[in-house]
Amino acid sequence: MAGGRRPTVRSRPRVPDMSQPQSVGVSNSRNPTRPVRIGSVTIGHDHPIMLQSMCATRTADVEATVAQVERLAGAGAGLVRIAVDTRGDAEALEEIRRRTDANLAVDLQENYRLAADVAPLVDKIRYNPGHLFHHERQRPWQEKVRFLVDTAGEHDCAIRVGVNCGSVDPAKREKYAAGDSIGPLLESALEHCDLLDRLGFTRYCVSLKDSDPAAVVDVNRRFALERPDVPLHLGVTEAGMPPEGIVKTRRALGQLLRRGIGDTIRVSLTVPATEKHREIEAGRQILADVAAGHIDDEQDAGPRGLDIISCPSCSRVENEAFVVLAQQVREATRYAAEYPITIAVMGCRVNGPGETDDADLGLWCGPNFVNLKRGGAPLGAFSYEEILSRMKEELDTLIAALPPCGS
């Protein structure tokens, strides 16, 4: 694997500068976060808020991935994330790196040791604390983080600690009441920040994401009070399809940005791979609207009635029919719009099993079958042709036992 660093990255289109106190509708001061350099860009402190996105192409498909990286960067992404789950992906990333000078982040899941292969090729490593326990279970998570820190330091990489509601370390979740989704997220993030600080590594940012906009606001405000020095990556995970996914993200990020919280953002949308640039367009509009004062505290308590959450399309999706299925679920369930029911549609086995547990109905997609769950309990695997009718049977059963919202 090549070990040299990349040439200087060419300048990218500027995004609305959210750091300026005179911006209408923005808090008079942003949180005094420290600057964190990521390749040619810097987040935190008084630097403009950076837009970013993630490739939805297969990482091993070098041509398609390079084309998508360039399109996202050209649309205004200061950073583009690529998933690497295997050594084959890492080898493809080496060629991708040779063909683009965009700032790249790598998304690691269970196999944290792949960081050694990819760190020479990227500008940031993202790891999820909730996934560290999967690989080498007998090894303390602190040692795994030390390995990541040493690797990042050796290869001039920043780190993102990415904490997600559906993949929190089980040991953390067990410490809190069943209905408390915020406590485990917050404790996990603070614990990892403390370790990184003790290891002498401060070139990191944190993300705390949930599919509920109200939870995103709550956990990020609480984290910012505890650690105002740490730059925050904001986003609503599994926001879903546009326009609903944009509305959810706008609801959460608008509140936080107006209060000076947030240093980089991603709008996570369920769209075909060819439309990933829509995430950048939506993010740019949110920043512009906040700067112009067009987003206020029009908060509602979160989604009312039927809520469909679906993960953003990415390279881990095991069947491209996932995006189409999510759209079909939305259309097939419109008759249930007035009922307080959550349906989750997930695209892969990495996040699917855990992130459908809290939904009333959960569908996570494999290559040939869709796994159906009700309230976290597995109901079986069904073909893509069967799943809609089977899901509607379960939905009708739920509706029969519930009054419509507001009744």
Both 369 and 286 in one domain: the answer is: no
- Mean pLDDT for the stretch of residues 164-190: 89
Both 169 and 68 in one domain: the answer is: yes
Between 13 and 81, the more confident residue is: 81
Both 117 and 160 in one domain: the answer is: yes
Residue 116 falls inside a structural domain: yes
Report the number of distinct structural domains present in the chain: 2
Q: What is the pLDDT of residue 330?
A: 96
Both 273 and 314 in one domain: the answer is: no
Q: What is the pLDDT of residue 12?
A: 38
Both 67 and 209 in one domain: the answer is: yes
Residue 242 falls inside a structural domain: yes
Is the pLDDT at 384 greater than 70, yes or no? yes
Is the pLDDT at 302 greater than 80, yes or no? no
Residue 3 falls inside a structural domain: no
Both 135 and 241 in one domain: the answer is: yes
Which of the listed residues 263, 291, 319 is the one where a domain comes to its end?
291
Residue 85 falls inside a structural domain: yes
Is the pLDDT at 351 greater than 90, yes or no? no
Both 282 and 318 in one domain: the answer is: no
The top-scoring range by mean pLDDT among 18-22, 170-174, 310-314, 379-383 is 379-383
Q: What is the pLDDT of residue 19?
A: 37
* Residue 391: its H or E element: helix 387-400
Q: What is the pLDDT of residue 75?
A: 96
Position 9 confidence tier, pLDDT thresholds 50, 70, 90: very low
Sort strands 361-365 and 104-107 into parallel, antiparallel or unpaired: unpaired
Q: What is the pLDDT of residue 1?
A: 47
- CATH code where residue 104 lies: 3.20.20.20
Residue 27 falls inside a structural domain: no
- CATH code where residue 384 lies: 3.30.413.10
Both 205 and 93 in one domain: the answer is: yes
Between 376 and 232, the more confident residue is: 232
Between 36 and 211, the more confident residue is: 36
Both 112 and 210 in one domain: the answer is: yes
Condensed to tens digits (0 to 9), the pLDDT of residues 102-130 reads 999 998 877 899 999 999 999 999 999 99
Q: What is the pLDDT of residue 135?
A: 81
- From the list 285, 281, 262, 258, the residue with the least C-alpha distance to 271 is 281
Average the pLDDT over each of 36-40, 171-175, 359-363 and give the range with the smallest value.
171-175
Both 161 and 274 in one domain: the answer is: yes
Residue 168 falls inside a structural domain: yes
Both 78 and 172 in one domain: the answer is: yes
Both 372 and 281 in one domain: the answer is: no
| Structure tokens that stand for 186 in this block | 């917050």
Is the pLDDT at 303 greater than 60, yes or no? no
Q: Which residues form the domain of 347?
A: 307-400
Residue 29 falls inside a structural domain: no
Condensed to tens digits (0 to 9), the pLDDT of residues 206-226 reads 999 999 999 999 999 999 999
Sort strands 377-383 and 369-374 into parallel, antiparallel or unpaired: antiparallel
Share of the chain above pLDDT 90, in %: 72
User: What single-letter amino acid sits at 348?
Assistant: C
Q: What is the pLDDT of residue 356?
A: 83
* Residue 188: its H or E element: helix 182-198
How many C-beta neighbours within 10 Å does residue 370 have?
26
Residue 6 falls inside a structural domain: no
CA atoms within 13 Å, Cβ hemisphere of 11: 3
Average the pLDDT over each of 8-22, 41-55, 92-106, 368-382 and give the range with the smallest value.
8-22
Listing DSSP states for 33-71 in one string gives: PPPEEETTEEESTTSPPEEEEE--S-TT-HHHHHHHHHH
* Residue 222: its H or E element: helix 213-226
Residues 145, 146, 151, 157, Cα dihedral to 10°: 60
